[in-house]
Structure 1
Amino acid sequence: TATSCRAERGEVIHGPTGRRLGYGALVDQAATLPVPPNPPLKDPKDWRLIGTPAKRLDSPDKVNGAARFGIDERLPGMQVATLAACPVFGGQLASVDDTKARAVPGVRQVVRLEDAVAVVADHMWAAKQGLAALDIKWDEGPNAKLGTADIVQQLAAASQRPGVVARNDGDAVRAMAGAARKVEAIYELPFLAHATMEPVNCTVHVRRDSCDIWVGTQVPTFTRTAAAQLTGLPRERVQVHNHLLGGGFGRRLEVDFVRRAVRIAMQVPGPVKVVWTREEDIQHDMYRPYYYDRIAAGLDERGRPVAWTHRVTGSSIMARVTSELFPKTLRVMRAVGLHQLIATVKGLDVDAVEGAAEPPYTLPNIRVEYVRQEPPGVPTAFWRGVGPTHSIFVVESFIDELAAAMQQDPFEYRRALLDQAPRAKAVLELAALQAGWGRPLPPGSGRGISLLHAFGSYVAQVAEVSVSKQGEVRVARVVCAVDCGVVVNPDTVKAQIESGIIFGISGVLWGEITFKNGRVEQHNFNDYRVLRIHEAPVIEVHLVRSTETPGGIGEPGTSAVMPAVANAIFAATGKRIRKLPVKDQLRP
């Protein structure tokens, strides 16, 4: 019987006799048995592997260079291509004179696409030299004069109109009118690039009856579908050889670079590796949307929020992703009335309001709305942390504003609003305890705190920063408390939190994509700055032991650190950061 057996190291062991059978020996018989409706689970006290740190098996290869990323692909007879796309989104290739490019040693071919031109060569250097020698003329299209200020103006105007309701508990309008005090603010968060260490690249070999793709992608199935659509081949004739990612962060959820590589390969004999330069990658990324948020709270005599309104205005990633990547699924689910599970619901983008629509605090009257406003021509996509990268920043910065308005401690103010959220309260208290909340810091330094409930996990962070007289911010220490339910491998959880914190600090301090005359102004790491090793803070991660359902852990570190840093800057300087990035805002 099941009670007399145990599973161990791939075998089922009969306790009384010690007889052992491997799983493989039992498969055929097990397949004929009915699935038990409520199989008993192992008691957590008997866990041997769950919760035990385990080293990653791929770490040595990543250190010694043996790991294979997409850009490492080498094939017999392979050529290398690089490209230039129209610098203005929505523009087209008007003409190109390739006379000088063809004279570059090693250049084999110039491929023209509707909105780009590629140079195919024996190696990357020749391809780059050939590309630089092209005389390209662009039809820049309707967005040739577009600037960031134009986009912000459109968002600000759109934010004035009522949005689709994401949450409406109580009567926020009436409660606001009767509040003892009202606090309101506008927050702006910029476009953000993914800035992966490995620029996007894709190697493709298109034959008459098959297609092979070597790439590092987060979506091999979508990659296969895109190639099949372009080549006209059946999906089963497209083979995707997936490699490790030199950074994904949502960028490699997209297949735009795969489509371009396939279109180029269809005009090239043999395999061709298409590599984007870093500049091309940053200037033709698919960006985290620009968000323009209006938020207000009505407070009672004690400073507790009795009314809360939050209107999110920005692009809808879900609307595009659903229609582009799940068209068949969407059609089927729409036919049965279930399309709202994966799409926008009557105009509501559930990702755009995640973190805003379900804050953990006790808010008796809350109304959250979403206004969709697409930036003209600018492609938007998921960025590590997705919707909460903006919504948690706004909510947690604003909670800090309320505490400051009432001259109350930010930690104590939050804790008083968490009586109905014990898991959130526990991580908040743990982070504050481990960070030494309330302990004095030197002049020019400050601590900030934040709380996140998203992806099924609870995360609290305390950031310690120092601000120089020149306005330079240094994040010295981040203390993080995490309750993500059952933790299988603590090392993996800590690694994800640590890397998310590094990613988020880059975003809050410097991350920004801007437009002038339709063009992205940033080019490379010199003007799209990311945190470097010598700038990294001390990071402490404390895990809550839990038997709750496992939650997500890849995203929360990024979303939670951004408001913690901004709140710490306020504590150090008295300046509230309502528009990101911080960048030069603190300079005298």
Structure 2
Amino acid sequence: MNAPTKIPVASRRDFLAGSGLVIGLALPMGKAAAKAAPAGEATPFAPNAFVRIAGDNTVTVIIKHVEFGQGPATGLSTIVADELDADWGQMRIAFAPANDPLYKNLAFGTMGTGGSTAMANSWMQMRNAGASARAMLVAAAARTWGVPAAEVTVAKGVVSHGAKTATFGDLAATAATMPIPEKPTLKTPAQWTLIGRDTPKLDSLVKTNGSAQFTMDVQRPGMVVSVIEHAPAFGGTVKSVDDAAALAIPGVVAVKTIPQGVVVYAKDTFAAMKGRAALKVDWDLSKAETRSTDTMIKQYIAAAATPGVECEAEGNVATALASAAKRIEATYVFPFLAHAPMETMDAVIEPKDGGADFYAGSQFQVGDTTAVSKVLGVPFAGMTLHEQYAGGSFGRRATPDMGNAVEAAMATKAFGGTTAVKHVWTRENDIRGGRYRPLIVHTIKGGVDAKGQIVGLDAVVAGQSFMRGTGFFNPSAKFDEAMVEGLTGSAYAFPALRVGANELKNGVPTLWWRSVGNTHTAYVMETFLDRLFELGKQDPIMGRIALMKDDRAKAVLKRVAEVAGGLSAKSGRARGVAFHKSFGSYVAQIAEVSVGADKLPRVHKVWAAVDCGVPINPNVIRAQIEGGVGFGLGHALYAEITLGEGGVVQQSNFDTYRSLRMAEMPEVEVAIINSTANPTGIGEPGLPPIAPAVANAWRKLTGKVVTRLPFAHSENA
């Protein structure tokens, strides 16, 4: 495979420069986008320039989503390459500039990556872009050779008519003069040559050989590095600073106070960190969140014992449970969780006349760039986003208030607003910095009749909403759907169901975390169902299938049972099953578990079946399921953020915020359903089933019912 080229993108002018073909996909906002084109620039290719074909025969796909390992660069390129009939070796990627009219996420209305929407919102957009390019190349060949377009064929980057052949590069200049088809002819699934087949990720080589550039790699002339000291409790502010010792550290050039904390500037990162360690800061904690985790949990448990706001109801749950032959109930506690991406929060801002260059692996490109422009007091038109590869996110880089960009911009402005500043969070900043998966408590009751059939569920959630008060929340909504998703709108049809929510105030800043509410609702639903099936003497797989109202859900559960060979395990081990639908995708998993040397679950193998619509690139799908299993398993077994006396976070790095180690990663076998439905999400749906699958196996193996995560918590000893 030829090495993919990462091309910095500053404006649409870059796409149109030189001899080549650029395809703009005409969408309903076409007139507005045409007006937005730079003066003097031809507009037939506006809006939405997604494909660039150069004279050297390379095809560059403009990627509107951040690439932090989840694979949109490869997925979007796969779609374009197939409709274009390109050879995979000629494909390249470049990241889009911050431009909503051209590159907005069609599910969000602004540029952004999240909610497993990258493929779903881009599917038809990229198919049309590739098909339009192909049609124009064919038209160019027909004109050049004087033959009917219908007789021209394209395969693996070569355009042919009998003995006559030409590469895309040969035809690019002529193709650029062809009219853009309003409705290009799309391939049928039977004609696809790349979609649905394994292709290597376009960024694997550059990430392996170290040539891929992340924000942490960016160097600018005269640049300084800044690090920040945040308050020890959330909501604290700076009262006074003694920076004498910090300024005495060789390499430290300044210390400044901004609303987020105290910033130390230095010639390199190590000097900045040493300077920060030497600071003496007096904090005002009068308005800080000073409750401990234990105190919060007691308050949350009390709230979860009340009905809350009704979110979904079917039948009369009270009557159903009162008439049940057998009943059980449980209270579940889920801790705060950090995202802990390998690359911590960072950004480089280089001020210039009338604007700034902004380097970041931005998850909300327009939102972040706008935030920087406002802090610096420069027009958005003067800003240039240089989108970088990002070393993970899991939701962390997507703050509704653009907090990461705002802090970096404030650090830049405080230094004078004339020098390039690389603002870097250390691991301790990251682990103690908030924006966690919220602390959540569930109470749930259920029962079965004399025949062992489930008669109803009554579930209540208590927790805080990170959505309320942001642009992502409808202020007239009675409850936050992110708190209860997975309980509401589930794949199961219960005779009676009630879901309630109690929204509590909390000063700990929280955020979406990979799979959002599904991270805890799937655990509650799937572990409680297993207990009800045992109570009613039902098979856990057949019992689920009988409750399911969706044939795709049933097919996925049947498939995972088939590839795993059922739930029987050899002596000393047990298997558990779990299913969950999230982000439009269906995932079922079976985990095989034994008792580890640390008396915690040792997961040997996980079988997974997934239906995420048309499987654009199975290689990426498998990788995301494997990643979801590893990420979800590590957090379920070991991870939690706890606040001690005074609201101080007790964890600081990976020694105290435990992650899954390589030797602990189970073997993962993934079966992908060859669906014909439109593509849905895959970055997040692989995570929710793993923890309940392990918990169900663990209960079968040891008899222990784990209702407080992580498994390593002392209550589970």
Same fold (TM over 0.5): yes
For 1:393, the equivalent position in structure 2 comes to 523
SS at match of 1:141: coil
1:211-222 matched pairs, under 5 angstroms = 211-222=356-367
In structure 1, how many angstroms separate the alpha carbons of the residues matched to 2:461 and 2:174? Answer: 56
| Residue 351 in structure 1 maps to residue 485 in structure 2 | no
Question: Residue 238 of structure 2 contacts residue 282 of structure 2 at CA under 8 Å; is this kept in 1?
Answer: yes
Contact 2:569 2:592 in 1 (8 A): no
Q: Return 525-534 or 210-219, whichever deviates more.
A: 210-219
Q: Is residue 2:706 matched to residue 1:572?
A: no
Assess if the C-alpha contact under 8 Å between 1:251 and 1:285 holds in 2: no
Does 1:257 find its partner at 2:404? yes
What secondary structure, in the 3-state scheme, does the structure 2 residue paired with 1:266 have? Answer: helix
Alignment of 1:10-25 (within 5 A): 10-12=133-135, 13=138, 17-18=151-152
**For residues 228 and 7 of structure 1, do their structure 2 counterparts lie closer, same or farther at Cα, with a shift above 3 Å needed?**
closer
Separation of aligned partners in 2, 1:251 and 1:309: 32
Rate the CA distance shift 1:47–1:247 in 2: closer, same or farther, 3 A: same
- Give yes or no for contact 2:560–2:608 (8 Å, CA) kept in 1: yes
- Over 3 Å counting, the alpha-carbon distance change for 1:185 and 1:455 in structure 2 is same
Structure 1 window deviating more from structure 2 (57-66 vs 19-28): it is 19-28
Q: Provide the C-alpha distance between the structure 2 equivalents of 1:25 and 1:565, rounded to a whole number of angstroms.
A: 59
Deviation at 1:113?
A: 1.6
CA apart distance, 1:421: 2.1
Which of 495, 508, 520 is the aligned partner of 2:649? 520
- Please report how far the alpha carbon of residue 32 of structure 1 lies from its aligned counterpart in structure 2 after TM superposition: 8.3
The answer for the alignment partner of 2:547 in structure 1 is: 417
Cα distance in 1 for partners of 2:361, 2:441 equals 33
Query: For each residue in 1:438-469, what CA deviation from the matched residue of structure 2 results, as whole angstroms up to 9, or x when unmatched?
Result: 433222x2211100111111110001111136
Given that 2:227 and 2:424 are in contact with CA atoms closer than 8 Å, whether structure 1 keeps it comes out as yes
Q: Distance in 1 between matches of 2:476 and 2:705?
A: 34
Q: Which of 472, 482, 486 is equivalent to 2:614?
A: 486
Match of 1:546 among 661, 672, 675: 675
Unaligned runs of 5+ in 2: 1-82, 87-132, 139-147, 154-158, 160-167
CA–CA distance in structure 1, aligned partners of residues 84 and 562 of structure 2 = 41
Show the counterpart of 1:360.
491
8 Å contact 1:316–1:352 — kept in the other structure? yes
Give the Cα separation in 1 of the matches to 2:276 and 2:675: 56
Separation of aligned partners in 2, 1:96 and 1:84 = 11
1:449 pairs with 551, 574, 577, which one?
A: 577
Matches within 5 A, 1:69-108: 69-108=214-253
Separation (CA, whole Å) in 2 of partners of 1:344 and 1:561:
34
Alpha-carbon displacement from aligned partner over 1:127-157 (angstroms, at most 9, x marks no partner)? 1111111111111224464100121122122
Task: Say if 1:102 and 1:585 are closer, same or farther in 2 by CA, change over 3 A.
Answer: closer
Q: Is the contact between residue 326 and residue 535 of structure 2 (CA under 8 Å) also seen in structure 1?
A: no
Structure 1 residue matching 2:390: 3-state secondary structure: coil
Tell me, in whole angstroms, the C-alpha distance in 2 between the residues paired with 1:441 and 1:345: 54
Alignment equivalent of 2:426, drawn from 277, 286, 308 = 277
What amino acid is the match of 1:263? M
Counterpart-to-counterpart distance in 1, 2:558 and 2:413: 59
Q: Which stretch has the larger CA shift, 348-357 or 135-144?
A: 135-144
Percent identical among aligned pairs is 38
Check if 1:531 corresponds to 2:660.
yes
| 1:499 is aligned to 2:633 | no
The answer to whether structure 1 residue 185 and structure 2 residue 330 are counterparts is yes
* C-alpha separation in 1, matches of 2:707 and 2:363: 33
User: Any idea what the Cα deviations from partners look like across 1:158-188, whole Å, max 9, x if unmatched?
Assistant: 2233323221122222222222222211111
Give the letter for the 1:434 counterpart.
V
Check the 8 A contact 1:206/1:266 in 2, yes or no.
no
* 1:378 maps to 2:508: yes
- 1:105-504 equivalences under 5 Å are 105-143=250-288, 145-207=290-352, 209-254=354-399, 255-268=402-415, 269-322=418-471, 343=474, 346-375=477-506, 377-418=507-548, 420-443=549-572, 445-468=573-596, 470-504=598-632
Question: 2:454 is matched by which residue type in structure 1?
Answer: P
CA RMSD of aligned residues (A): 2.3
CA distance in 2, matches of 1:305, 1:150: 35
Instruction: Name the SS of the counterpart of 1:104 in structure 2.
Output: coil
- Superposition deviation, residue 295 in structure 1: 1.2
Residue identity matched to 2:539:
D
Which residue identity is paired with 1:265? T
Task: Give the CA deviation at 1:238.
Answer: 2.1
How far did 1:26 drift? 7.1
- Alpha-carbon shift at residue 192 of structure 1 (Å): 0.4
Residues 11 and 393 (structure 1 numbering): CA distance in 2 closer, same or farther, change over 3 Å?
same
**Helix, strand or coil: the match of 1:557?**
coil
1:450-493 Cα shifts (integer Å, max 9, x gaps): 00111111110001111136513211111000111111111111
What is the identity, as a one-letter code, of the residue corresponding to 1:477? K
Task: Show CA shifts across 1:198-251 (max 9, x none).
Answer: 111111123452122211221111111211221222211222211111111100
Q: Give 3-state SS (helix, strand or coil) of 2:687's partner.
A: helix
Report the TM-score, using the length of structure 1 for normalisation: 0.90
2:622 counterpart SS class: helix
Report if the CA contact (8 A) 2:568-2:574 is conserved: no
Distance 2:173 2:638 in 1: 54
- In structure 1, give the amino acid aligned to 2:479: L
Residues 320 and 464 (structure 1 numbering): CA distance in 2 closer, same or farther, change over 3 Å?
farther
User: How far apart, in 2, do the equivalents of 1:16 and 1:261 lie?
Assistant: 55
- Displacement of 1:370 in angstroms is 1.9
> Separation in 1 of the partners of 2:526 and 2:356?
49
Tell me: CA distance 1:175–1:26, structure 2 relative to 1, closer, same or farther (3 Å). farther
1:251-292 per-residue CA deviation (whole Å, 9 max, x = no partner) reads: 011232221111111122411111111011110030001111
Change (3 A) 1:374 1:23: farther
Letter in 2 for 1:385: S
For residue 489 of structure 1, what is the amino acid of its counterpart? N
Residues of 2 paired with 1:284 and 1:362: CA distance? 41
Return the TM-score normalized by structure 2: 0.74
Show CA shifts across 1:360-402 (max 9, x none).
1221221112221122x10010111111011111111111111
Are the aligned partners of 1:472 and 1:586 in contact in 2 as well (CA < 8 Å)?
Answer: no
Secondary structure of 2:675's match?
coil
Spell out the pairing of 1:33-44 with structure 2 (5 A cutoff): 42-44=187-189
What letter matches 1:275 in structure 2? Answer: V
Q: Secondary structure of 1:448's partner?
A: strand
Instruction: Give yes or no for contact 2:328–2:445 (8 Å, CA) kept in 1.
Output: yes
* CA distance in structure 2 between the aligned counterparts of 1:187 and 1:368, rounded to whole angstroms: 15
Distance between the aligned counterparts of 2:207 and 2:692, measured in 1? 32
Q: Which amino acid aligns with 1:356?
A: L
Say if 1:520 and 1:24 are closer, same or farther in 2 by CA, change over 3 A. farther
Deviates most, 455-464 or 420-429: 420-429
Secondary structure of residue in 1 paired with 2:547: coil
Counterpart-to-counterpart distance in 2, 1:40 and 1:179: 58
Contact 2:316 2:496 in 1 (8 A): yes
Opposite residue 523 of structure 2, the aligned amino acid is: F
CA distance 1:509–1:219, shift in 2 (3 Å): same
Give the deviation of 1:346 after TM superposition: 2.5
What does the per-residue CA deviation read over 1:105-142, in whole Å, with 9 as the maximum and x for residues that have no partner? 11110011234101101111111111111111111224
Indicate if the aligned counterparts of 2:448 and 2:536 stay in contact, CA closer than 8 A.
no
